[in-house]
Amino acid sequence: MAACQTEKEEINFPKTDLSNMPMIPKPLKTIPTGSAFGLDAGTAIYTSTTDPAFEKVGRFLSENIKSKTGLELGVNSSSEAKLERLIYINQSDSVDLETPESYQLYIKKDSILLNAKTAAGAFRGIQTLQQLIPTKSNDTLTDHPLWVIPSGKITDAPKYGYRSSMLDVARHFFTVDEVKKYIDALAYYKFNTLHLHLSDDQGWRIEIKSWPKLTEVGGASEVGGGEGGFYTQEEYKDIVAYAADRHITVVPEIDMPGHTNSASLSYPFLHYAGAETPRVRTDMKVGYSSFDAQKDTVYSFLDDVIGEIAAISPGPYFHIGGDESHVTKKSDYILFVEKVEKIVQKHNKRMVGWDEIAQADIDSKSIVQLWNSADNALKAADNGSKLIVSPAKKAYLDMKYDSISEFGLHWAGYIPVDVGYNWDPETYVEGISKENILGIEAPLWSETISNGTELEYLAFPRIIGYAELGWSPSDHLDWEDYKVRLAAQVPYLEAMQINYYPSKLVDWNKE
């Protein structure tokens, strides 16, 4: 190293300010030092090799740098070539790294050091680094192009350990590639969970080998009369692995006992006498279908379904839905949730359900997802259950932005970009505090959208705000400051060919 250092040319960087860079989510602490690191072809990436997952993070960074800048940086390559500058991704046991996703980023003239306890922390850290790499190189500082990265120190950690978005692939089916593109963007903004709503009245979207009609019959429809579709288990595993490569956990949901028309259409014995007779449904109604909570065969069926999905879902959670079972007798609903919780636990998963499940006597380890009822959220907290906060009025990506929005619903109100950002999960329900909260989620229901472009219209830019709500401390949340950083996401969104709603509330940094 000493030998290399003497050969290095001195570059006179213009004064930089790391704290003024448009990072989202905003890091916990940023201390600028005014100089810069010049990323160029002479930069090499090295990683700790004690954990192979760190090297993988290094390769991920190298690939992204290549697509952004064209530079091809070696990772842990032993070549003797002149080493000008170094990015080192280091596994560290420092006590300052308090959570698995915490990281420290030290950017100096000659080196960038990224410290993290786990590969997940390192992965979050390289997202910050990627956000700091400018789209355009500076070609005047030296005889070759340099991508100027402001120097300084970033110490960062998430507010919540669960930061999620949900895709409803049931009302309209989305292809594996469409889901992967969404995962890429979630990863860039440090989400760590993708919830997949895999079944509903209009369609069943995951192959179950022991019950093939679920997809043969139940998978062939969607809202509006399209052809539907489903993921084979191989395709689902491919999504799960793609997400895992980005340190994102997939939470599968089979919604029940309501929202089950497509399942009961496939296997009529599941149908509950008080529910509407199953038929192909392409409308947007809710609350008319139900499984029969009194039949043992329903639970043997669910043991198979949950077992098959659990076996290919490495994450700790299984989401049972549980919302809007309007035709299920309350006693049947409660019996059903309590029995299904046992099945989920038998398959070594923790149950998650929409807030209605708090009416049953659930395990304190089960998780309740607040979408609608503050009462249910308080019941859950009383029970010792953690909450995922996703109130429809603030966090539903399928709510229209305003009266002229092209897609979306508005039963919970309009959610302009500032309204989606300007709230605090910790104070949203009186009586619920940080200790009760596992994290937040922004669900995207798909009644009104049927392809990737429309999906992105509703998700972007609002999803970027939920990334910050889930990660950054509450005292960092400031719309005026955020909207400037949001505007600066345009080059990323354009480079990734992500469609977004160009809200008038934001002064977009367009060319």
Active site residues: 324
Question: Cβ closer to ligand TNX: 156 or 222?
Answer: 222
Helix crossing, 296-311 with 330-346: angle to 10°?
A: 40
Question: Cβ closer to ligand TNX: 101 or 255?
Answer: 255
Q: Is the separation of the CB atoms in 353 and 368 below 8 Å? A: yes
Q: Does 409 participate in binding ligand TNX (rule CB under 6 A)?
A: yes
Judged by CB under 6 A, the residue of 46, 371, 428, 460 near ligand TNX is 371
Q: Does 204 participate in binding ligand TNX (rule CB under 6 A)?
A: no
Shortest Cβ distance from residue 144 to ligand TNX (Å)? 52
Quote the CA–CA distance of 55 and 70 in Å, as a whole number: 20
Strand pairing category for 162-168 and 111-116: unpaired
Quote the CA–CA distance of 488 and 510 in Å, as a whole number: 9
Q: Does 323 participate in binding ligand TNX (rule CB under 6 A)?
A: yes
For the segment 50-89, give every residue that binds ligand TNX (CB under 6 A).
Answer: none
Question: Cβ closer to ligand TNX: 235 or 454?
Answer: 454
Quote the CA–CA distance of 469 and 486 in Å, as a whole number: 13
For the segment 230-249, give every residue that binds ligand TNX (CB under 6 A).
Answer: none
Q: Does 374 participate in binding ligand TNX (rule CB under 6 A)?
A: no
Q: How many CA atoms lie within 13 A of 275 on its CB side?
A: 33
Question: Cβ closer to ligand TNX: 286 or 505?
Answer: 286
Q: What share of the chain is helix, strand, coil (3-state, %, to 5)?
A: 35, 20, 45
Q: What's the distance, Cα to Cα, between the start and end of the chain in Å?
A: 41
Judged by CB under 6 A, the residue of 4, 28, 53, 286 near ligand TNX is 286
DSSP code at position 246: T
Sequence-separated (6 or more) residues with CB below 8 Å from residue 425: 160, 389, 437, 440, 469
Q: Does 354 participate in binding ligand TNX (rule CB under 6 A)?
A: yes
Quote the CA–CA distance of 397 and 191 in Å, as a whole number: 15
Shortest Cβ distance from residue 433 to ligand TNX (Å)? 23
3-state secondary structure of 220: coil
Judged by CB under 6 A, the residue of 191, 288, 318, 445 near ligand TNX is 445
| Total of chain residues touching ligand TNX, rule CB under 6 A | 10
Shortest Cβ distance from residue 456 to ligand TNX (Å)? 18
Question: Cβ closer to ligand TNX: 101 or 356?
Answer: 356
Q: Does 201 participate in binding ligand TNX (rule CB under 6 A)?
A: no
| Residue among 314, 272, 303, 315 at smallest CA distance from 290 | 272
Shortest Cβ distance from residue 249 to ligand TNX (Å)? 20
Shortest Cβ distance from residue 329 to ligand TNX (Å)? 20
Shortest Cβ distance from residue 457 to ligand TNX (Å)? 16
Judged by CB under 6 A, the residue of 40, 398, 456, 468 near ligand TNX is 398
Classify the phi-psi angles of 289: left when phi > 0, otherwise alpha if psi is within -120 to 50, otherwise beta. beta
Question: Cβ closer to ligand TNX: 104 or 260?
Answer: 260
Quote the CA–CA distance of 405 and 26 in Å, as a whole number: 28
Question: Cβ closer to ligand TNX: 41 or 286?
Answer: 286
Shortest Cβ distance from residue 465 to ligand TNX (Å)? 18
Q: Does 500 participate in binding ligand TNX (rule CB under 6 A)?
A: no
DSSP one-letter string for 147-184: EEEEEEEEEE--S-SEEEEEEETTTS---HHHHHHHHH
Interacting residue ranges for ligand TNX, rule: CB under 6 A: 286, 323-324, 354, 371, 396, 398, 409, 445, 447
